[in-house]
Amino acid sequence: MADVDDAGWARRSSVRVVPPARPRKLAKVPFVELADGRLQGVVSSGSDIERVYVSSLTSGTHAYHCSTNNNRPCGGLRGTPCKHLAALADEAVLQYGLDRVARYLRADAGDGVTTGAELLSRLDARHEPTPAAVVFSRFLRHLSYLEAPGNSTPLPELHWFPATGAGR
Amino acid sequence: MLGTQLTALTSGHPAALTDALDLVAGVDAALTRGLARVGEADATALAGLAGALAATPLADLVAEAIDKICAGSVTPEHLAALAGARSALLGAAHDALLGQLDAALGRGRDPWSVAPAPPAGPSPVLATVRAWLHEVAVTGWHGVDHELVAAAGTPVEAALAAPESRRLAVLLDGLAAELRACVPVATMPQVPARRWADLWARGVLLAQDAAAVDPPADVVDRVDGRLLPLGVDVHEHDTAMQIQVHGLLEPAAGGPPRLVRTAVGAAKVDTIVGPALWRLLQAHPTLLTALAQRRGVTVTDLPARGADLHWHDDRAQLDEPVDPFAAARVLLPGAQAAAIAPLNRHPAAIAEPVLLEGYAVRDHDGGLAADLDGRPLAVAVDRLPSCGPLTPEVVAASSACLGLLRWDDGRWLLQPLAVRADVKRKVVDVHTGDWACGVSDAKVAKAEAKTGDAVAVLRERAGRLLRR
Ligand SMILES: [Zn+2]
């Protein structure tokens, strides 16, 4: 977390508690999140524009799963994580940084690991089916923000949330 | 702003400010541990808060609420009184600090004009929000876990779906995202206790059925005149963004210029960051063009409340180019400011435009400070947005700055909105809003092109998947 060692943190109103996401290409993996005790997200199918895969990796146990949003199991799971899971892990590391992803998964990144796929390959991961519906509905909710109307009256509470990160 | 004005601003705190903030810190510590079982230290702190309000109209209400909270019976009414008491104290701190600022700068300020609040009936949305905020206060920040964070989903969704609770929804969504990233909070080396208590208390007040925060359209003023933008302040969390343009309004009817501001915003998601933010505001082309081209704007019949102009892009017309530095130099000293709504009074709301010239920038406390006649004013470098070209390096090379005076954690800060700087032996003006109509820096534009148009990608996905 940013600034957490700063002695004044506890008495400041305006601190960026969560570092902003780093920019990344969204075409392949439009949605990644660290939530519900999982690294989870949605990967667009390379062949069918209407189809998406829902992939997840559980913190601690490192159980993984991948299926279409209609719960059809991913054909790429053959005893090891599929390419969708590798893509999900790669994009998570781009968005959050390796440290934050490894910490959330309770995984030891170890030396020489720079990408999410490398981190994934180091884990003692095992397959365990989980329903896609929860993650997929979170993705739809995520997308629904883009359809929400804008505002042209001030939202005073946003003064607690300054934009930051110039020149990153 | 002159060196003597900075001296007047930074030499000494308003009377009793430190005591007030210590009382607030005591409340914040109690909320960190939770109100389920109030220990001796927290009980003393809460009693101190009640004591501080003993001479106010809130006295009896707060004293009774704190008695009951300390005895272990916490009702929603008691929490509302606690949130109100803490907010009243910080409201008074706001008034004292702003008074100090106005006195130092010689800034005149119109009082807030009270408009009748519309009657408000009970709202099921607000009840859901209050229930979650209640649970949070009883649990305390230290006890916040995955389950309590997940429980925010329902109230956030309900508040987002109701346009009249947009303010509350945006606040709650921002707070919940922070908690989600921090659970289990008990393992954090330090909790942002002031910040989270600020957001909690404001949330509780906005979630009262009688909050009536937005006056109906027929009681606001209407303004005509020429708006000269001075600079733009950008706010953002994962799911919301807002730009607030500070400017001078020359009223068409004559009279002194008014210090005004106007805000427009949009809902977003966490992966929309940097210059892509501007693309969310395309419904306001005149405002964005005025920022990117540094132009004045003629506004007609624009609704206003205090210093806040409610933007309607179709009531605005681009005017001549304006040099914001020149406008500020000539007009800012005599401009008339306005008070903010009583509910919004909090030191974090202080954002007063100033022009600083002839300073030296130096390293100060691990950050930057503008040194004016030997007086340092810390620069809020963490408030420079990634959607614009104004970076700490440019600020470090600057000699003139249009910025906002802010106050946090016991000190005044300068938040730059624009600077005049020496870059590669050329004097250039750099504004946070320079990229409002597109990135003008080749290197940044290339990086942007590489990551692609996040807004377009997600809108395509939304179009394809949401309406199945
Ligand atoms: Zn797969």
For residue A79, the distance in angstroms to the closest alpha carbon of chain B comes to: 30
pLDDT category, A2, cuts 50, 70, 90? Answer: very low
Q: How far does the centroid of ligand 1 lie from the alpha carbon of residue A78, in Å?
A: 10
- pLDDT tens-digit map of B181-239: 888 898 888 999 999 999 999 999 999 987 655 555 556 789 999 999 999 999 999 99
In one-letter notation, the amino acid at residue A106 is: R
Q: Could you tell me the two tokens for B162?
A: 């109701």
Cα B407–B410–B415 angle (5° rounding)?
Answer: 30
Q: CB-CB: which of B241, B270, B388 is closest to A166?
A: B388
Q: What one-letter code names the amino acid at B186? A: A
**Model pLDDT, residue A168:** 67
- Cβ partners under 8 Å of residue B270, min gap 6: A20, A21, A95, B238, B239
pLDDT at position B216 is 56
Tell me what pLDDT residue B463 has: 85
Question: Which residue among A24, A146, A155 places its CB closest to the CB of B458?
Answer: A146
Considering only residues 84 to 113 of chain A, which have any Cβ-Cβ distance to chain B shorter than 8 Å?
Answer: 95
pLDDT of residue B217: 54
For residue B151, give both structure tokens: 């429980």
Q: Which amino acid is at A63?
A: A
Q: Which residue of B has its CA nearest to A162?
A: B235
Q: What is the pTM of this model?
A: 0.95
User: Cβ–Cβ of A18/B181 closer than 8 Å?
Assistant: yes
Specify the amino acid at residue B142.
H
**Nearest-CA residue of chain A relative to B149?**
A36
Tokens 């609420």, located at residue: B65
How many secondary structure helices (H) and strands (E) does chain B include? Answer: 15, 15
Q: What is the pLDDT of residues B246-271, one digit of tens each?
A: 999 999 999 999 999 999 999 999 99
- pLDDT tens figures, A62-111: 999 999 988 899 999 988 999 999 999 999 999 999 999 999 999 988 88
CB contact under 8 A, B273 and A165: yes
CA–CA min distance B63, chain A (Å): 25
Give the span between the Cα atoms of B238 and B215, in whole angstroms. Answer: 28
CA of A24 to the centre of ligand 1 (A): 21
CA angle B200, B308, B295 (to 5 degrees): 125
pLDDT digits (tens, 9 = 90+) for B433-466: 999 999 988 998 998 888 888 989 998 888 888 8
Asked if B89 and B24 count as a contact pair (C-beta separation under 8 A), the reply is yes
Helix B153-161, helix B166-182: angle, nearest 10: 160
- Inter-chain contacts counted by CB atoms under 8 A, chains A and B: 246
Taking the CA of residue B207 and the nearest CA in chain A, the distance in Å comes to 13
Inter-chain touch A20–B386, beta carbons under 8 Å: yes
d(CA B468, CA B457): 18
Alpha helix segments (H runs only) across chain A: 83-96, 98-105, 116-122, 133-144
Long-range CB contact pairs, A66-74, < 8 A, 24+:
A67/A129, A67/A132, A68/A132, A69/A42, A69/A132, A69/A136, A70/A132, A71/A131, A71/A132, A71/A133, A73/A129
- Cα gap A114→A64, rounded to integer Å: 20
The domain limits of chain A are 19-144
pLDDT digits (tens, 9 = 90+) for A41-60: 999 998 888 889 999 999 99
Residues of B within 8 A of A151 (CB-CB) are 166, 242, 263-266
Instruction: Copy the structure tokens of residue B30.
Output: 């109690």
ipTM of the complex: 0.96
Q: What share of chain A is helix, strand, coil (3-state, %, to 5)?
A: 30, 20, 50
The answer to whether the Cβ–Cβ distance between B239 and A155 falls below 8 Å is no
Q: How far is B361 from chain A (nearest CA, A)?
A: 18
DSSP character for B186? G
Distance A42 CA to ligand 1 centre (A): 10
**DSSP character for A162?**
B
Q: Is the pLDDT of residue A125 over 80?
A: yes
Partners of residue B420 on adjacent β-strands: B400, B429
Crossing angle of helices B166-182 and B124-139, rounded to 10°: 30
Find the B72 Cα to ligand 1 centroid distance in Å.
52
Residue B33 identity (one-letter amino acid): R
Three state DSSP letters for B94-161: HHHHHHHHHHHHCCEEECCCCCCCCCCCCCHHHHHHHHHHHHHHHHCHHHCCHHHHHCCHHHHHHHHH
The mean per-residue pLDDT over the stretch A115-137 comes to 92
A78 interface with B at CB cutoff 8 Å: no
What local confidence, expressed as pLDDT, does residue A4 receive? Answer: 46
The number of residues making up chain A comes to 168
Quote the pLDDT of residue B115. Answer: 78
pLDDT at A1 over 50: no
- Given a cut of 90, whether residue A25 has pLDDT beyond it is yes
| CB contact (8 A) between residue A8 and residue B409 | yes
Does the beta-carbon distance from A14 to B383 stay under 8 Å? Answer: yes
DSSP 8-state secondary structure symbol assigned to residue B451: H
All residues with CB under 5 Å from ion ligand 1: A 53, 66, 74, 76, 82, 84
Low-confidence ranges of chain B (pLDDT < 50): none
Residue at token pair 């600034």:
A3
Query: Is A4 touching B (CB cutoff 8 A)?
Result: yes
Three-class SS string for A47-85?
CCCCCEEEEEEECCCCEEEEEECCCCECCCCCCCCCHHH
pLDDT at B93: 97
